[in-house]
Amino acid sequence: MELLEFFYEHESPRSDTLPRNAPEPSSKRLCVTGPKYCGKRSWLKHNALARFDAKKVLFLDCADLRCEKESLDALEAFIDEKEIELLCVADYDQSFALPSSTQIWITSTTRIEGFDELPLANLSFEEFLAFEKRSDPKVALNLFLKWGNFPEIPQLPETKKERRSQEILRLSFGEDLFLFKEVAFFQGYAASAHFIFKRLKERYKVSKDRFYNLFDRWQEEGYIHAVPKWGAKRAAKKLFFYNFLAKPLLYTQREFPKIFENMLFLELREECYYLEPLGFYLPKSRRLVVAIPFGNEVRIQNKIDQILAKSSLEIEKIEVVTVASSFRYEIEGVECEIAPFYEWALGE
């Protein structure tokens, strides 16, 4: 039991993590899923400490090089001896059996059978505001656009932020980073896996099965978000990424409208589709959310007129998200609200 004793003393939950906007844990067997480095491990520690006495929690980190799986045979006996009430297992890889006699919270990049899933993503703007501890949302938005949404980045010195963000990508994708880079090139564009693979095979020797499997897995794990087009099931899906700075971290090009649209997409909390010429349609709430970072009232109103002229959807509200513009009006019974991103994302 020497290994378990080590983790029991060494890995007890700490209080130096910040809360997230994820739902309250309510399941006895819970799996927190999401991309690597999105804060799953910190979520476990924060919530464990908030609900249990530290001495009643055993935290195992499967990514720790000292965590020898063959030394975990005595896990259930150790839990009984220490009267553990909560077992937390970070990066659980199913290489050892978990006891059934105690409450268990685990983290994984994908769902695990027998566990209720709680998805976690990178920081929302509201969470970034708390992590960065800026009182002015306008200033925080500039930093959000500059640094991205990896949870650990706000805590780093300025000179290390970009390098660490690139390192996170390397650690997350390993030898497949060059393939993810090819996909990230299409941020904000409609592109199928078939189209990307055709472009890819002109320069690299990679099998179709390998690429397609990775493309599907990255969607399942939350690295890629492929948004379907409304009313066109066979149309190519529009690609967005778990960090809206994924492409600028991998390429020198910086397409601000695409970055801004990606950032906006990550704030949406219900099923959505993309429309042409632009916008996200949310059928449940009958809303249209459009990213127009820059433009005066006339230009924005012209864009809205174009959208309404080409659309036969039942729309009750159009939300135009900008960098700084703010006004409201109504057209043909449709409420139009134009607001800066920092107001829109915070629901002000």
- 207-255 per-position pLDDT tens digit: 999 999 999 999 999 999 999 999 998 999 999 999 999 999 999 989 9
Q: DSSP 3-state assignment of 294?
A: coil
Report residue 307's pLDDT band, with 50, 70 and 90 as the boundaries: confident
Q: Answer whether 321's CB lies under 8 Å from 290's CB.
A: yes
Residue found by looking up tokens 């809206």 in the block? 244
Closest CA to 239 of 231, 228, 230: 228
Split into its structural domains, the chain has a count of 3
pLDDT at residue 7 above 60?
yes
- Residue at which a domain ends, from 119, 139, 159: 119
Q: DSSP for 69-134? A: GGGGTTHHHHHHHHT-SEEEEET--SSSPPPSSSEEEEEESS--TTSEEEE--S--HHHHHHHHT-
Domain contains 88: yes
Domain contains 263: no
- What average pLDDT does the structure give for the chain? 92
Query: What is the rounded CA–CA span in Å between residue 296 and residue 333?
Result: 22
> pLDDT at position 71, please?
76
* Amino acid type, 178: F
pLDDT at residue 193 above 60?
yes
Query: What is the rounded CA–CA span in Å between residue 289 and residue 279?
Result: 6
Q: Answer whether 190's CB lies under 8 Å from 238's CB.
A: yes
* Amino acid type, 61: D
**What's phi and psi for 110, nearest 5 deg?**
-135, 165
- 140-170 per-position pLDDT tens digit: 999 999 999 999 999 899 999 999 999 999 9
Q: Are residues 132 and 69 in the same domain?
A: no
Q: Are residues 111 and 147 in the same domain?
A: no
Query: What is the rounded CA–CA span in Å between residue 154 and residue 144?
Result: 9
**Which CATH number belongs to the domain containing residue 106 in this structure?**
3.40.50
Q: Answer whether 275's CB lies under 8 Å from 304's CB.
A: no
How many other C-beta atoms are found inside a 10 Å radius of the C-beta of residue 262?
24
Residue of 321 and 24 predicted with greater confidence: 321
- Residue at which a domain ends, from 104, 119, 134: 119
Domain contains 30: yes
Q: Are residues 170 and 287 in the same domain?
A: no
Query: What is the rounded CA–CA span in Å between residue 209 and residue 215?
Result: 10
3-state secondary structure 38-84: CCHHHHHHHHHHHHCCHHHEEEEECCCCCCCHHHHCCHHHHHHHHCC
> pLDDT at position 332, please?
85
> pLDDT at position 229, please?
96
> pLDDT at position 166, please?
98
Domain contains 261: no
**What's phi and psi for 238, nearest 5 deg?**
-85, 135
Average pLDDT for residues 298-323, to the nearest whole number? 89
* Amino acid type, 335: E
Element at 329 (helix H, strand E): strand 327-331
Q: Within 13 Å and on the Cβ side, how many CA atoms surround 152?
A: 16
Q: Are residues 9 and 104 in the same domain?
A: yes
Q: Are residues 250 and 275 in the same domain?
A: no
Pairing mode, strands 287-291 and 273-274: unpaired
What domain range is 340 assigned to? 268-348
Pairing mode, strands 103-108 and 29-33: parallel
- Residue at which a domain ends, from 119, 145, 166: 119
